[in-house]
Amino acid sequence: MRLIRDRATWLIYLQLGTFATYLYGLSAALPLLRIDQGVSKTVAGLHGTTMAVGGVLTALALARLTTRFGRRTVTWLGLGGMNLGVLLVVLSDALPVTLTAYGIAGGCGTMALYTMMAVLNDHHGPAGPAALSEANAVGVILGIGASFALSAAAGSALGWRAALLLTPVLTVALALAMGRVWVPHTPRPAVLEAARRVPFGWRFYLAGAVLFCCVALEFGFNLWAAELVAERTGLNAAVAATALTAFTVGLAAGRFAGVWLALRVAPGPLLVGALVVAAAGWAIFWSSSHPVLSYAGLVVCGLGVALHFPLALTRVIAASGGRPDEGAGIAALWAGAASGLGPFVLGALADGFGTHTAFLLTPALIAVAVGCVLGAGHLNASRQAGPAAGS
């Protein structure tokens, strides 16, 4: 099995890169935005909740939107709306405006992301998991740049908001350079109509539970890891924002390695292994009060988390019964709920018990995800053994 990268593949890779600059830029900006606004961690966590609400609303309409307008239009419209949300954060620090901006960016970004992932998975067939991993690796590379630029701008006369302009600049450049490129593939209506008559099975919902845990875990780190680094090590907020860079370095390395691994290792064992690596990284990060060890733990955690989203999303699409757009839309619902509830619950726990204690949520999510993956494998094996035993 090989992964063949054509122009359409690289377009989606780079579109995902622009998405990553928004996601990691606004995530790294949250502690600095909270300081500017003078609000509590729980209130600041509402920004993640509005991102999730926006994602859920667009997810509900995603299958209909792609059917009516096509995947190409939906992707570019999503990227455009995402940039509108980013620009609103640049222009204002009023709480109602920034909450709305995070919601717009989250909703439109979700619309673009899950459409791109469904297209890429379809375009590469059996090599889909490897393509998804590599696409996310390219995105993380640009995400590292966005979080580093934000940290650097925060300590300069420009201010941290200037770094957020990276997202619209890259989006415009990509549209001008590759706006006419697209994937020449659309699911056949007859196939989709037949598939819609078949209800989703247990494998689909277990895959959704795994995706929920993985997204909640990743967003919790994205939005609150820098806060814990600052509390545990004594670094100021601007310097501690680089903690997200350490996490994304691990993500990038893990996703590039994931391309090789996904072509050689079965998805279930690979996902369980990635969850175990993330747990080991969390243990180092959580127990450390030294900047070097904290950053090392975040890198290791990123190595594991790197494979969570692409593998979990692939499992959902594979279990959708031949309905990739509908499966991607429901996956976006689960992921949207996770991206909002995970950081909000973690922020509320941090206000009540401290950020250090709140991060015990991470191993709990990992345990549930591992249980669902192993449970799905056991049930699938039992189902396959049943007919064989009766023959």
| C-alpha span between 330 and 151 (Å, rounded) | 35
| C-alpha span between 354 and 212 (Å, rounded) | 24
Quote the pLDDT of residue 380. 58
Q: Inter-axis angle of helices 267-287 and 291-305, to 10 degrees?
A: 170
Those residues with Cβ within 8 angstroms of residue 2's Cβ, 6 or more apart along the chain or in another chain:
127, 263
Are the C-beta atoms of residues 115 and 62 closer than 8 Å to each other?
Answer: yes
For residue 186, give the amino acid letter: T
- Encoded tokens for 254: 């893990």
- Encoded tokens for 294: 């904290």
Those residues with Cβ within 8 angstroms of residue 62's Cβ, 6 or more apart along the chain or in another chain:
74, 111, 114, 115, 325, 328, 329, 332
Task: Give the other-Cβ count within 10 Å of 357's Cβ.
Answer: 12
Quote the pLDDT of residue 1. 66
> Which residues in the chain show pLDDT less than 70?
1, 184-199, 237-238, 242, 377-391
- Closest-CA residue to 76 (of 219, 181, 163): 181
| C-alpha span between 262 and 271 (Å, rounded) | 10
- The residue with tokens 């973690």 is 346
| C-alpha span between 252 and 249 (Å, rounded) | 5
Quote the pLDDT of residue 272. 92
pTM of the model: 0.75
What dihedral angle (degrees, nearest 10) is formed by the CA atoms of 110, 366, 143, 250? Answer: -160
Quote the pLDDT of residue 176. 93
Q: Is 309 exposed, middle or buried (0-12, 13-18, 19+ CB in 10 A)?
A: buried
- Closest-CA residue to 212 (of 311, 327, 337): 337
SS3 261: helix
Those residues with Cβ within 8 angstroms of residue 17's Cβ, 6 or more apart along the chain or in another chain:
138, 139, 141, 142, 143, 170
The region that residue 5 occupies, defined by phi over 0 for left and psi between -120 and 50 for alpha, beta otherwise, is beta
- Closest-CA residue to 335 (of 195, 207, 225, 223): 207
Quote the pLDDT of residue 128. 77
For residue 73, give the amino acid letter: T
Are the C-beta atoms of residues 367 and 278 closer than 8 Å to each other?
Answer: no
- Which value, in Å, is the radius of gyration of the alpha carbons in the chain? 20
CA atoms within 13 A on the CB side of 96: 0
Quote the pLDDT of residue 367. 94
| C-alpha span between 303 and 255 (Å, rounded) | 8
Domains and CATH numbers, the chain: 7-384 (1.20.1250.20)
